[in-house]
Each structure stands twice: as structure tokens, then as C-alpha cells.
Structure 1
Amino acid sequence: MLTTLTLGSIASVSAAKIDLSQEIVIKAKRQAGDLKNKIASYLDDVVITQGSLTINADIVQVISNSDNDDKTYVAKGKPAKFEQLLDDGTPINLEADEIKYEPGNNTITIVGNAVLSQAGSEVKGGKIVYNTLTEQLSAEAGDNDEGITQTILKPKEKAKDQQ
């Protein structure tokens, strides 16, 4: 089952555009590189930061596209985590067994026990693809998800003077 939607509670992510102009800092206990194939591997307690964006994982591979300067980040962990602040300061959080972040395509694909959370609402599935530019996502059930995806929408809180 495939679900495509735009969560009304997900705010503008132009902060993501600002983050792309920031330097990338990668910290890990170990690293290795395959310069010929343009693949860098970071292992053990990997933390990547770029502006408000943070990725935490056990292993991250950074694959450089030979045709242009685009890079693909593949993070794996139990779970691997991605967090970024939106313009209004609200964090968007993604976690899964694997996170594939493609800033050049404005996409994040999370696979295996995938969860996307923002402002108390969340989407769960086997695979979630999120476009940081259009703010749209699609979710698919995985083999261990009883054949369904799940969305939990948090109700808006009433102002105290309205109660």
C-alpha cells in the first residue's frame, strides 16, 4: 500500500536551503576512503552536521557523483537518525534502519522501521520518501508492518483562555 500526502502540520523547509550553504562536519571513530570510486566511509558513532541538520548513525557512506558535485549520504544504524530545524524552529525527525539523503535532489528516503515525526504528528512505514522542497512524502508498508502504514496526527492545542 502506498500513501502520498502533504502533512498540514509540516512547516516550510527553506531552512533546508540555508543549511545546504553551510559547511559539512563529519565526526566518526574511524574512516576509510575509496578515492578512485569517490566513496568515503565513516564508522562507529558517526555524527554529520550542516547548519541545523544532524545525522547520527553507526555507519555512513558518502558517495560523490562523478558528473557533478552532488553527494549521496547513506546512513545505517539501529536506528539511524536525521534531524533538521524548520523555519519556525520546529524540528523534523526521521529515523530508520537506513537513511538515504540526497541534497541535490531534495529527497530523503528512509527504509526499515521508518518513522517521520514533526510537531507531535508522525508517519510510520517500511519506507518513507520525503521531499524537502515540496514538503511531500510517500509511505509504503514494509514486510514487518502488517501490510499497512500508520499516520498519527496530533490535535492542535487550544489556548488556555478558550478552555
Structure 2
Amino acid sequence: MLCLCAALAVLASPLADARRSDRAKAMEVTAGMQQGTLDDSTPTVLSGGVTIDQGTLHTEAARAEISTRGGEITRVVLTGSPARLRQELDDGTPMNAVANRIDYNVSNETVVFTGNVDIKQPRGSLAGERVVYNMSTGQVTSGGEGNGRVRMRILPKTGAGTAEPAKNDDADSPAEGG
């Protein structure tokens, strides 16, 4: 997974980084079935209840497809109904994300969450149909161009409230929180 979840931790503006030390930890993978070669010629496909743990990172998916180049992981695609991802951030706060598909492109350091995306952490939440996070720049893009509305909730630093997404469908409503 190579810190797949460095992807998203919804905060006030920029997303927080996942625990960077997780990248140096051993990756533990379990699945009902594995198919493919253990070289770069074809992706390795895991199915039948896939779990991947690496440090504080924990993922669960129905299927995982892992591509490599030169023996290094270049892309991981998790699918499920939904695929789940949980990780502790560098500041110690938890982050949880669910989506029908989580596509982590290691080469360009982007993570694309699609289908019923719901990302939560103590300071807020982000939900929608598509969220793209560029890990190297911190840029987050969500919704737009036929990808549905984005729902965000940003809580004040005092911690009052919950991290549930706003339930208001009124397009002209101001953002909640402060």
C-alpha cells in the first residue's frame, strides 16, 4: 500500500499527511485468493476479502490489484462495496475513508477515491462521488464535471460537534463550521 492513506485526512483546508513512518514498516497482506505473477509482467490480483496492514494503515477491500515496475509497487487499486481505509496521521489523529474504488498511483503520488466517497477525521469530513488528492502538492479536487456535489463539514478547533457530513442539499447554503 505504501501509505495509500497518505491520501486523505480532511482538515480545515489542506489535508494532513498520514503517518510517514508507516512506509518503512513491513506490509502484511491476507486474501482468499492471489492470482498473477510475482514480477512486473502482470498485476497481482488479490480477492476474497483482502486486508492490508502496514504500520497504522489498515485497508479492507473485496479486491486489490497491485502493479509493479522494477520490483517496486507503482499502483494499487482497491475495490469493494465499499473499500475501507484507516490510518493514524503524523499528528496522531485517526482518519477513516470509504469508497467503491481507491486508486493509488505511486508514480505520480495521487490517490483517486470514486463512488460513495466518505472521508472522516476528528476535525471534519468530506463526501462526494470523486475526490482526487495529490500527495506531493497537497492539492485536493472533488466533485465537478458530472461527479456530483461535494459535502464538507469543518469543525472549529475547540472540537465541538461531530464529523458527520452536512445533510443540507441546498446548493446556495454557506459552508458549516469555522
TM bracket (short chain): 0.7 to 0.9
Q: 2:57 aligns with which of 40, 53, 58?
A: 53
Structure 2 runs not aligned, ≥5 long:
1-9, 161-178
Contact 2:84–2:96 (CA under 8 A) maintained in structure 1: yes
Structure 1 runs not aligned, ≥5 long:
1-5
Equivalent residue runs for 1:35-54 within 5 Å: 35=39, 37-54=41-58
TM-superposed CA distance for 1:49, in Å, is 1.0
Aligned residues: 150
Distance in 2, Cα, partners of 1:142 & 1:152: 22
Which structure is higher in strand share?
Answer: 1
More deviation, 110-119/150-159: 150-159
Contact 1:98–1:110 (CA under 8 A) maintained in structure 2: yes
Contact 1:9–1:118 (CA under 8 A) maintained in structure 2: no
When the two chains are superposed, the root-mean-square deviation of aligned CA atoms in Å is 2.7
TM-superposed CA distance for 1:98, in Å, is 0.3
Distance in 1, Cα, partners of 2:106 & 2:121: 20
Give per-residue Cα distances to partners, 1:93-148, cap 9 Å, x unaligned. Answer: 221000112344332210011122121411111110123444432111586x7x31
Give per-residue Cα distances to partners, 1:64-94, cap 9 Å, x unaligned. Answer: 135x724211111111011111122111222
- Aligned to 1:18, the other structure's residue is in SS state helix
The answer to whether 1:138 aligns with 2:141 is: yes
The TM-score with structure 1 as length reference comes to 0.77
Equivalent residue runs for 1:74-89 within 5 Å: 74-89=77-92
Q: 1:38 to 1:22 in 2, by over 3 A?
A: farther
What does residue 114 of structure 1 align with?
Answer: 117
What does residue 73 of structure 1 align with?
Answer: 76
Distance in 1, Cα, partners of 2:47 & 2:11: 34
- Aligned to 1:156, the other structure's residue is in SS state coil
What does residue 3 of structure 1 align with?
Answer: none
- Aligned to 1:23, the other structure's residue is in SS state coil
Letter in 2 for 1:71: T
Q: 1:7 aligns with which of 7, 11, 21?
A: 11
TM-superposed CA distance for 1:46, in Å, is 0.6
Q: 1:62 aligns with which of 66, 70, 88?
A: 66
Q: 1:115 to 1:142 in 2, by over 3 A?
A: farther
Which of structures 1 and 2 has the larger relative contact order (alpha carbons within 8 angstroms, sep 6+)? 1
What does residue 92 of structure 1 align with?
Answer: 95
